[in-house]
Amino acid sequence: DAGVTQSPTHLIKTRGQQVTLRCSPISGHKSVSWYQQVLGQGPQFIFQYYEKEERGRGNFPDRFSARQFPNYSSELNVNALLLGDSALYLCASSIGTSRANQPQHFGDGTRLSIL
Partner 1 sequence: GDSVTQMEGPVTLSEEAFLTINCTYTATGYPSLFWYVQYPGEGLQLLLKATKADDKGSNKGFEATYRKETTSFHLEKGSVQVSDSAVYFCALSSNSGYSTLTFGKGTMLLVSP
One of 78, 90, 112, 114 touching partner 1 (CB under 8 A) = 90
Q: In what order do the strands lie in the sheet with 64-68?
A: 5-7, 19-24, 74-78, 64-68
Q: Does the protein bind partner 1 through residue 107 (CB under 8 A)?
A: yes
Q: Does the protein bind partner 1 through residue 44 (CB under 8 A)?
A: yes
Cβ neighbours for 34, distance < 8 A, ≥ 6 positions apart: 23, 45, 46, 47, 48, 66, 74, 76, 89, 90, 91, 92
Which residue stretch of 22-30, 40-48, 67-75, 76-84 sits at the interface with partner 1 (rule: CB under 8 A)? 40-48
Q: Does the protein bind partner 1 through residue 86 (CB under 8 A)?
A: no
Residue 83 phi/psi, 5-degree rounding, is -55, -35
One of 24, 26, 33, 76 touching partner 1 (CB under 8 A) = 33
List residues near partner 1 by CB under 8 A: 4, 31, 33, 35, 40-45, 48, 50, 55-56, 58, 90, 92, 94, 97-109
